[in-house]
Amino acid sequence: MSSIIQLLPDHVANQIAAGEVVQRPASVVKELLENAVDAGATDIKLIIKDAGKALVQVIDNGLGMSVTDARLCFERHATSKIRHAEDLFSLHTKGFRGEALASIAAIAHMEMKTKQDQEELGTHIVIEGSKFVSQDVAVLPKGTSFAVKNLFFNIPARRNFLKSDTVEYRHVIDEFQRVALAHPKIHFTFYHNGSEMFNLPPSTLRQRIVNVFSGKTNEKLVPVQEETEIVSIQGFVSKPEFAKKNRSEQFFFVNDRFIKSGYLHHAVMAAYDGILKDGAQPSYFLYLTVPPNTIDINIHPTKTEIKFDDEHALYAILRASIKHSLGQFNVAPVLDFDRDSNLDTPYHYKDLKGATPTIQVDGNFNPFSEEKPSKQFASYRKPEPTANWESLYVGLKQDTDENGSVTFENEEVTSSLFNDEEVEHAVHKTYQIHKKYIVSSIKSGMVIVDQQRAHQRVLYENFLVNMTVLQASSQQLLFPLNLFFSSTEMELIAELQFSLMNTGFVFEETNKDHIVISGIPVNVTESEVSLVLEQLLSDLQDGIPESSFSQNDTIAKSMAKSLAVKTGTHLTEKEQENLVNGLFACKDPNVSPFQKPTFITMRVEDLDKKFAL
Ligand code: ADP
Ligand code: MG
């Protein structure tokens, strides 16, 4: 039988390798930025078009390349960074595999200009799909520029797999931020479609973090510092009250390389044990320096995971040093002798901003109708005031009746014996169980409502109606709110602005790093605004839905999630009643916006059966 094994031609091998190295425009950004850092640049410009799909260009003022190197750098396994296998154990560069440029050149149109400081002239090379198109001598400034156009031009399947510009742009920003945070002494600028998105002058670490994540960041940072035999730790963590809803500001760098580590993340969270609200995420920017021979960065192709020799010790040191820093911050007020202890506030009040008086006119208000609804449940009490228990029956749609209709018990009451309020309670008794469920008697037996899910449903439908049918009502703030966001977040907000306005937000200004809000939806309180927006941004991490319908839907879901009463909240009887009424007035009371059941019923027969034994 004849032999059938052949060596793959280089351009095919490169295309295959490219699959590992280049998943999306952000991968190109990462490789080019890292090469510029490795070349000793002090000034690096990143220029992209259409989220990097049309162009990724990186211009540096680093070492540049000789004519020979300029040609060689596109070969696979061509690197100036290691010579021997042992060099792997003393790495101080980002790259070392020598396959990034070969891979990128295999799947894009690439143009390179490079000149070394001591040379008169530089080299200009054009390469497309691994084929050299031209090579010229050119007058160039010192340093190197790589422009990568039409990524995946020869692999349509991959091109089609790219996500929307919003998503790809987010990935690019992530990579840019990681490199920029690792190298505060380098001047970075970043342009997207002609506008400057970041301009980060050389600075201290703290200033770099603040420049990357907007001006409000500074006050929330607590320094962390620790020197031990096996690791030195530097950086910042956020004060607990500034914790975020998402993990977008959590960074580990090991020897100036961004890494991900679930294990070290756990160590940080352990340091915050007991001082964070449920689900809250601290920001952290932690820089670990370890001897290069105690880590193995070779275990993951895109190199964001690394293996440490002594993980357990690292965990303990990290946790202890963060605890220490947070402790110092927490005990600080005790040393403040002039402080008036009468001014002490319970912990959770510390987060609340002073309440700003608002003007709000409720057109439906009738002083003779009934008790004023609590703010929390105001939302679904409009446009029509709470119905009586009996109205639950009216509100129920045919299809909600499947397992026995939810008809509430209708006792005869002679109201003359009671004042109004007593009558109501006597007739419509609800019980809250474990601050989680609301139980009430119904004609066929009993109904058990999950308070959090029920409220989510009510708020969700209310927001949707406001956004799609009605002009949402908005409460005017006397003093506009200034809210700061990172530039990524600002992008998202700009895209959502229209939908948000439909919910009742009034934007007075949108600036580069903050927005000024002068009106908010009626069912949101001022202290909830930033929480609502943060949750929304975190829910949209993976991209903004394309259609305006699903945009509204996402916003309504997210706001309902943020604002709904949580399990564990005590509800007054009136609130319980309002909630149940509101739920059964919904179009689809059976499930929460996240498709979880909102209530169950138990028929008397079911109860009888249980007692029959
Ligand atoms: P690696 O970074 O793993 O060495 P690359 O394919 O990214 O592999 O780059 C190959 C080589 O090209 C590098 O080792 C370096 O010598 C050279 N090179 C790449 N980018 C630059 C740059 N911006 N400035 C100077 N030299 C560069
Ligand atoms: Mg490289």
> Which pLDDT value is given to residue 199?
95
**Which residue type, as a one-letter code, is found at position 405?**
S
Query: What tens digit of pLDDT does each residue of 531-571 get?
Result: 889 888 888 876 667 666 778 888 889 999 988 998 888 99
Q: Is the CB of 96 under 6 A from ligand 1?
A: yes
Q: What confidence category does residue 420 fall into, taking pLDDT thresholds of 50, 70 and 90?
A: very low
Q: Is the CB of 97 under 6 A from ligand 1?
A: yes
Q: How far apart are CA 205 and CA 213, in angstroms?
A: 12
Q: Is 50 exceeded by the pLDDT of residue 335? A: no
Q: Is 80 exceeded by the pLDDT of residue 425? A: no
Query: What tens digit of pLDDT does each residue of 55-108 get?
Result: 999 999 999 999 999 999 998 887 887 777 777 777 778 777 788 999 999 999
CB 245 within 8 A of CB 279: yes
Burial 144-170 (b: 16+ CB within 10 A, else e): bbbbbbbbbebbeebeeebeebbbbbb
CA angle 490, 494, 500 (to 5 degrees): 115
* Ligand 1 center from residue 447 Cα (angstroms): 68
- CA-closest residue to ligand 1 atom 14: 79
Helix, coil or strand: residue 357:
coil
Q: How far apart are CA 246 and CA 37, in angstroms?
A: 29
* Ligand 1 center from residue 140 Cα (angstroms): 18
Q: Which residue among 35, 74, 125, 297 is best mutated to probe the pocket of ligand 1, counting the most ligand atoms within 8 A of its Cβ?
A: 35
Which residue is associated with the tokens 């689809």? 588
- CA-closest residue to ligand 1 atom 2: 95
Backbone angles phi, psi at 230, to 5 degrees: -95, -20
Q: Which atom of ligand 1 is nearest to the CA of 62?
A: 24
- CA-closest residue to ligand 1 atom 13: 79
- CA-closest residue to ligand 1 atom 21: 35
Query: What tens digit of pLDDT does each residue of 16-45 get?
Result: 777 777 889 999 999 999 999 999 999 999
The secondary structure element, H or E, covering residue 223 is strand 221-227
Poorest-pLDDT segment among 328-332, 359-363, 576-580: 359-363
Query: What tens digit of pLDDT does each residue of 340-349 get?
Result: 333 333 333 3
The ligand whose atoms approach the alpha carbon of 106 most closely is 1
What proportions of the chain, in percent to the nearest 5, are helix, strand and coil? 40, 25, 35
CB 598 within 8 A of CB 589: yes
The CATH number for 208-328, chosen from 3.30.1300.10, 3.30.230.10, 3.40.50.620, 3.20.20.105, is: 3.30.230.10
CATH architecture assignment, domain 437-599: 2-Layer Sandwich (3.30)
284: alpha, beta or left? (left if phi > 0; alpha if psi -120 to 50): beta
| Mean pLDDT for the stretch of residues 216-230 | 89
* Ligand 2 center from residue 163 Cα (angstroms): 25
Domain ranges of the chain: 10-200, 208-328, 437-599
CB 172 within 8 A of CB 28: no
Q: Is the CB of 95 under 6 A from ligand 1?
A: yes
Q: Which atom of ligand 1 is nearest to the CA of 146?
A: 23
* Ligand 1 center from residue 70 Cα (angstroms): 9
Q: Is the CB of 78 under 6 A from ligand 1?
A: yes
More confident site: 385 or 58: 58
> Which pLDDT value is given to residue 341?
36
* Ligand 1 center from residue 184 Cα (angstroms): 21
State if pTM tops 0.75.
no
Query: What tens digit of pLDDT does each residue of 463-472 get?
Result: 888 777 656 7
Q: How far apart are CA 538 and CA 536, in angstroms?
A: 5
Virtual torsion, Cα 213, 216, 219, 221, nearest 10 deg: -20
Query: What tens digit of pLDDT does each residue of 499-508 get?
Result: 888 888 988 8
Q: Which atom of ligand 1 is nearest to the CA of 63?
A: 25
Q: How far apart are CA 395 and CA 406, in angstroms?
A: 10
> Which pLDDT value is given to residue 377?
44
The secondary structure element, H or E, covering residue 160 is helix 156-161
CB 179 within 8 A of CB 95: no
* Ligand 1 center from residue 97 Cα (angstroms): 10
Q: Which atom of ligand 1 is nearest to the CA of 58?
A: 23
CB 575 within 8 A of CB 380: no
Q: Which residue among 37, 69, 101, 148 is best mutated to probe the pocket of ligand 1, counting the most ligand atoms within 8 A of its Cβ?
A: 101
Of residues 479, 480, 559, 574, the one with CA closest to residue 523? 559
| Mean pLDDT for the stretch of residues 294-306 | 70
More confident site: 7 or 419: 7
Range list of β-strands (E), 87-192: 109-115, 122-128, 131-138, 143-149, 187-192
Backbone angles phi, psi at 543, to 5 degrees: 115, 150
Q: Is 60 exceeded by the pLDDT of residue 333? A: no
Start-to-end CA distance of the chain, whole Å, equals: 79
> Which pLDDT value is given to residue 471?
64
Q: What is the DSSP string of 475-526?
A: EEEEEEEEEE--HHHHHHHHHHHHHHHHHT-EEEEE-SSEEEEEEEETTS-G
- CA-closest residue to ligand 1 atom 8: 98
Quick one: how far is CA 563 from the chain centroid?
18
* Ligand 1 center from residue 102 Cα (angstroms): 10
Superfamily of domain 10-200: Histidine kinase-like ATPase, C-terminal domain (3.30.565.10)
* Ligand 1 center from residue 98 Cα (angstroms): 7
Of residues 220, 295, 309, 233, the one with CA closest to residue 267? 233
> Which pLDDT value is given to residue 87?
73
Burial (CB count <10 Å: 0-12, 13-18, 19+), residue 354? exposed
Q: Is the CB of 553 under 6 A from ligand 1?
A: no
Tell me the H-state helices in 510-571.
Answer: 529-539, 548-563
